[in-house]
């Protein structure tokens, strides 16, 4: 029996699951295992946090790591070395967070898989691997439909005086906004994409306001036009989405999908539950 360790990591946190004897035995969360930001020693330290809580009788024979920052050879090598140090008895497969969503939500069925979180990323999945991808260009050139994209448009409307007065006042008070501090956060401080995405909860809370609803609809139309439609094959396949924006704005996502005659498959906040099914052979 192959004992498997599954890890799905973003920049801030990593969810993991330990599979043995044909079922989920243990799961947990550790700080993000991101090879772009961490040295090999720091990566190994985080992996030891997981190893220490695993049953001593159950050696890990296969590791499946899904995450960001793995498309660079130096990052990939650093991550694989860390796994080799902490789990020397295991084979290690490193893949993207987008493949995690595809396997989790599509199983072995063809489809289009997307992540809508702070940014956005989309891929055409053939049931085993990603055949083509779109998006993933970052908040300046793309990320249509993601939290930073929604936030960018909301703040643009705010700064240009386009928001209705009631929304403008609430937004200004909630985040203590001014023209100067917005421009400083976007152009002078680190991680402007994260800053732009911080207003996404406000958008969600005011989604019943017609102005906000239409703003979100417009952003999702851009997402479909730029990222989904170019990947749609002649024999149309459903779109499945993971990520916080996809999950919290699922109703609007379905509205716009209907406009483009796109079938929505599954929508989930996190892919881990589906990854467990996939790696147990239940997908």
Beta-carbon-side half-sphere exposure of residue 3 (alpha carbons within 13 Å): 16
For residues 154 and 237, membership in a common domain is answered with yes
For residues 195 and 68, membership in a common domain is answered with no
Q: What is the pLDDT of residues 107-153, one digit of tens each?
A: 999 999 999 998 899 999 999 999 999 988 888 998 999 999 999 99
For residues 128 and 265, membership in a common domain is answered with yes
Who has greater pLDDT, 252 or 41? 252
Q: Is residue 275 part of a domain?
A: no
- Looking at residue 189, which CATH number applies to its domain? 3.30.420.40
Q: Is residue 278 part of a domain?
A: no
Q: What is the pLDDT of residues 145-185, one digit of tens each?
A: 999 999 999 999 999 999 999 999 999 999 999 999 999 99
CA distance 95 to 80: 11
Give the other-Cβ count within 10 Å of 91's Cβ.
Answer: 12
Assign 3-class secondary structure to 193-234.
HHHHHCCHHHHHHCCCCHHHHHHHHHHHHHHHHHHHHHHCCC
pLDDT at position 83 is 92
CA distance 171 to 160: 14
Residues spanned by the domain of 167: 101-269
For residues 204 and 154, membership in a common domain is answered with yes
For residues 111 and 79, membership in a common domain is answered with no
For residues 141 and 228, membership in a common domain is answered with yes
pLDDT at position 167 is 96
- Looking up tokens 């001593």, which residue turns up? 56
- Token pair recorded at residue 206: 């005011």
Q: Which residues contact 212 (CB under 8 A, 6 or more apart)?
A: 154, 167, 203, 206
Mode of pairing for the β-strands spanning 62-67 and 4-9: parallel
Burial code (b: 16+ CB inside 10 Å, e: under 16) for 255-281 equals ebbeeeebebbbbbebbbbbbbebbee
Can you give the pTM of this predicted structure? 0.88
């Amino acid at each position: 029996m192959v004992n498997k360790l599954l890890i799905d990591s973003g920049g801030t946190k990593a969810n993991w699951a330990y599979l043995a004897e044909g079922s989920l035995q243990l799961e947990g969360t550790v700080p993000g295992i991101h090879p772009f930001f961490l040295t090999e020693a720091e990566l190994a330290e985080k992996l030891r946090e997981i190893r220490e809580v695993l049953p001593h009788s159950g050696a890990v024979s296969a590791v499946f790591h899904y995450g960001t920052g793995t498309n660079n050879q130096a990052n990939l090598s650093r991550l694989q070395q860390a796994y080799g140090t902490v789990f020397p008895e295991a084979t290690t497969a490193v893949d993207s967070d987008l493949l995690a969503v595809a396997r989790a939500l599509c199983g072995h069925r063809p489809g289009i898989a997307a992540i809508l979180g702070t940014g956005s990323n989309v891929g055409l999945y053939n049931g085993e691997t990603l055949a083509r991808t779109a998006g993933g260009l970052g908040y300046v050139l793309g990320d249509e439909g993601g939290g930073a994209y929604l936030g960018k448009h909301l703040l643009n409307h705010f700064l240009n005086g386009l928001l209705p007065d009631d929304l403008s006042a609430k937004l200004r008070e909630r985040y203590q906004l001014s023209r100067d501090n917005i421009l400083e956060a976007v152009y002078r401080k680190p991680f402007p994409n994260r800053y732009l995405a911080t207003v996404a909860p406000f958008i969600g809370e005011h989604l019943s306001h017609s102005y906000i609803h239409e703003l979100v609809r417009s952003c999702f139309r851009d997402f479909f036009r730029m990222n989904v439609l170019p990947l749609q094959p002649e024999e149309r396949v459903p779109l499945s989405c993971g990520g916080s924006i996809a999950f919290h704005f699922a109703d609007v996502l379905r509205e716009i999908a209907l406009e483009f005659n796109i079938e929505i498959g599954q929508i989930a906040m996190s892919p881990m539950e589906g990854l467990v099914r996939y790696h147990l052979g239940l997908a």
